[in-house]
Structure 1
């Protein structure tokens, strides 16, 4: 089956790749719930990932995300991340990389054009619509940082529960799903929408869908083939 998929990679004029938490786990990134250790074990993850929670307890939520940033900072992209980045260098414009992951490992591997549907943990943005006084050079450090004039808070630039995905990234991802000839769905549970719906879109538009995942997923039914392998082992071979 590997050889078949490798042939499809060679034939496809446009490839879309959707990655999820399983790919990050191969680099040692803990899942959202697995990061609930020590002090943070007493909290429900959803109580630390909503705008309401941030407004009610900004320091608690900020420090939780600082904790997650520290956990990820020492980790490195795995061979799957590197293989995707190298492919885009060799074949400009042929591959669109879409990720549900917020750890930034794709970007650190060299995939600068990654469509990060759930944001990036390493970045911040303003909580409320910034005013003229909200300038990067005047941000007051703290837990969280804030504008010293109006008090507007900085928040992690990730998508919290109840929030919309970034419109531009989602639109570009949907376009790639509609236009690709091959979609690789790598390390994702296939349960989180609208990201999982991209595989259904690709299938409905005539693309071959291939699942790369050691475990079965709800998207297996729309797949031409399922490769039960970890991404770090499979992708370097498929994209060589």
Structure 2
């Protein structure tokens, strides 16, 4: 019987083949930067200029990056599948959107969006940010920050994500280590409601034993192949 409600969790491994650095690999971002200094509210309070420099660098580095075959396959699944398909991504890049995904939840925020701490307004943002940047909504300076979820902050849209997981009959985890929570616990939530669970990853994750099925290899290979299989009803 074809799956009617599919929830897909994606992580850094999905975008790696597009040239976006991962975080936890031996040569990932956290091997070069202390996350406590550039990705926590405390780090921003201590040295906002350093945090802005880090995210400005990341924003500029994404300028020439394009979606890969795995992003395209997930967008195709959403278009062609007869049921409902949602992508919940831990990634802050815009590659899912670039490939055409529309049923998309950015649980860790978006790199190309700014948040004003003064008034709460969110603004599409592609340029550099600094302490001198005025908020387009309230005109205050000093409160603009990247609209990303830092360590110690609560991920976005958790109520909606839980609703989707509770209705899912298929949960697929792609390109994620399973080390970051609450995303690392999604497979258990999906299993609890009887969903079939699948891991697509370059290598087995720490939570591999929780999945009913696992396929390992490059995302640009295993994801399109799995989507083909789903669309054929296998």
Q: TM-score range by the shorter chain?
A: 0.7 to 0.9
Alignment check: 8 A CA contact 1:209 1:223 kept:
yes
Deviation at 1:174, TM superposition (A): 1.3
- Residue 232 of structure 2 corresponds to none
Distance in 1 (CA, whole Å) between partners of 2:30 and 2:5 is: 39
Deviation at 1:152, TM superposition (A): 4.3
Deviation at 1:32, TM superposition (A): 3.5
Alignment check: 8 A CA contact 2:12 2:90 kept:
yes
Distance in 2 (CA, whole Å) between partners of 1:149 and 1:204 is: 47
- Residue 16 of structure 1 corresponds to 7
- Residue 190 of structure 1 corresponds to 178
Which of 63, 68, 73 is residue 58 of structure 2 equivalent to?
A: 68
SS at match of 2:110: strand
After TM superposition, the structure 1 = structure 2 runs for residues 128-147 of structure 1, keeping only pairs within 5 Å, are 128-130=118-120, 143-144=130-131, 145-147=133-135
Give the greater-gyration-radius structure (CA). Answer: 1
Alignment check: 8 A CA contact 1:18 1:98 kept:
yes
Deviation at 1:92, TM superposition (A): 6.3
Distance in 1 (CA, whole Å) between partners of 2:169 and 2:139 is: 51
Change (3 A) 1:36 1:172: closer
Change (3 A) 1:89 1:24: same
Distance in 2 (CA, whole Å) between partners of 1:77 and 1:149 is: 34
Deviation at 1:142, TM superposition (A): 5.8
Of 120-129 and 149-158, deviating more is 149-158
Change (3 A) 1:210 1:86: same
Root-mean-square deviation over aligned CA pairs: 2.3
Alignment check: 8 A CA contact 1:173 1:198 kept:
no
Distance in 2 (CA, whole Å) between partners of 1:142 and 1:16 is: 34
The total of aligned residue pairs comes to 218
After TM superposition, the structure 1 = structure 2 runs for residues 71-90 of structure 1, keeping only pairs within 5 Å, are 71-90=61-80
Q: Which runs of 5+ in 1 are unaligned?
A: 1-9
TM-score, normalisation: structure 1: 0.82
Q: Which runs of 5+ in 2 are unaligned?
A: 229-234
- Residue 155 of structure 1 corresponds to 145
TM-score, normalisation: structure 2: 0.84
For each residue in 1:51-75, what CA deviation from the matched residue of structure 2 results, as whole angstroms up to 9, or x when unmatched?
2222332222111101011122211
- Structure with the larger RCO, 1 or 2 (CA within 8 Å, 6+ apart): 1
Change (3 A) 1:88 1:135: closer
Distance in 2 (CA, whole Å) between partners of 1:124 and 1:82 is: 26
For each residue in 1:170-206, what CA deviation from the matched residue of structure 2 results, as whole angstroms up to 9, or x when unmatched?
2221112111111111111011110111111001110
